[in-house]
Structure 1
């Protein structure tokens, strides 16, 4: 699940998210703009600021809060939920607070850039590893910025499920290329290479991929009376 949150109105976000539980999956919060404070029942505390990432493994259970540390300005970012395989749903909970300076960012020859949050990205024969590695689902999380009319290619292992979400500008994807509107999530089909071209406005988008679990999913069970 991917949620994009965005507001310049403090009335939309000052209440924050007081203490609440999670279990059995991972939550990844990527802050484009703003400042949130994370606290949990394990004693972890972290400041999530512009460009930073909070990677939390709920495992067998964690109670945490996410409270804004600002009363004006923009609050914008993403929260991604990544499921855990059944055998790991009761693992101990964990938390990583990743500051913007700990996330590698590489410049592209066309004037664009790629931030590598999870997984790896290869550029000019050099492999750039993000701070998140060694997770069973082998996630890839890239934030790509392209100037107008520029192109981007990236190899994604064919065994992963992948999608692209564009949050600024306009973009063309696929073969043959097709235009993707802003705030669209595009699930990628079979193959092992992502090809994209920014439109006249340039493009900013995230690339997300991970191994499918091939396990049953149960949301809830309703018993009739």
Structure 2
């Protein structure tokens, strides 16, 4: 059996976004600009309120999906579709921005630990002009697999016979939060046609039959295309496993807008400035 091997290990770079929220960016950097269909992966996390209290005031998006996963803390969300709510620990917001949305994400706390992730997924050209859609997934709705060795929170995709709340998606995403006990293994069959990666949140792991040093926390691990993933925890570890089918289309970026051509980016900018951006 051929085991999935490590293609590349990337150290996330310090960055800031919104009104100065400090974060670590793993995808969307000079080292890894795009990993089709994934455009960006940020980890935000601090127990210093000055690092996050300014939040993400109202800002636009077009042509992408944003997936926000809260590990600790609370955020309040509001957008131009009229959707609003409070995200707490374990909750997920999956937002399809389509032809345009304006939203804000502001901390609902002024002290304590805030930690989470935001993933940007590209949309195929045929869906970039669709009406925006907002999906809120309460932690109580999340599907969980648990045994003596591990706990797997299934946000998207299927583990064994347990299917996550996000399914029937065009890029067929896998999004698992895996907690693995020391000395135990996690095994999963990936699609050889998909692009897959692990983000190690905490702990030390080995992947496949690797002979190099153990991989330590806060690393992005790009996986090769072999199907059989085998992860060994050298101590209690937590990681995200994310996978998706490449779209294979040209992309053009303009800040919060991701389209297929520069002309479409200019159109998005003009629509935003002339007030027609988020008209449904």
Question: Would the TM-score normalized by the shorter structure come out above 0.5?
Answer: yes
The RMSD of aligned alpha carbons is 1.2
1:53 maps to: 92
Q: Which runs of 5+ in 1 are unaligned?
A: none
After superposition, residues 22-101 of structure 1 pair within 5 angstroms as 22-101=61-140
TM-score (norm. length: structure 1): 0.92
State how 1:1-225 maps to structure 2 within 5 Å: 1-110=40-149, 112-122=150-160, 127-176=161-210, 178=212, 179-199=214-234, 201-219=235-253
Distance 2:64 2:153 in 1: 24
After TM superposition, give the deviation of residue 188 of structure 1 in Å. Answer: 0.8
SS of the aligned residue for 2:236 comes to strand
5+ unaligned residues in a row in structure 2: which ranges? 1-39, 255-261, 263-280
Of the two structures, which has the highest relative contact order with CA contacts closer than 8 Å and spacing of 6 or more?
2
Cα distance in 2 between the residues matched to 1:177 and 1:59: 44
Give the total of aligned pairs. Answer: 215
Cα separation, 2, equivalents of 1:7 and 1:138? 32
Q: Which residue of 1 aligns with 2:14?
A: none
Report the counterpart of residue 5 of structure 2 in structure 1.
Answer: none
**Using the alignment, how far apart are the partners of 1:84 and 1:26 within structure 2?**
7
Spell out structure 1 runs of 4+ moving beyond 6 A.
none
Q: TM-score under structure 2 normalisation?
A: 0.75
Pick the structure with more strand per residue.
Answer: 1
1:148/1:203 contact within 8 Å kept? yes
Could you tell me how far apart the structure 2 residues matched to 1:177 and 1:206 are?
22
Partner of residue 265, structure 2: none
After superposition, what is the alpha-carbon deviation per residue over 1:117-163, rounded to whole angstroms, capped at 9, x for unaligned? 001111xxxx1000001110111100000111111101111111100
Q: Is the CA contact (8 Å cut-off) linking 1:108 and 1:114 kept in structure 2? A: no
Partner residue, 2:20: none
Is the 1:47–1:97 contact (alpha carbons within 8 Å) kept by the matching residues of 2?
no
SS state of the match for residue 11, structure 1?
helix
Q: Tell me how far apart the structure 1 counterparts of residues 253 and 109 of structure 2 sit (CA, whole Å).
A: 35
The structural deviation recorded for 1:175 is 2.8
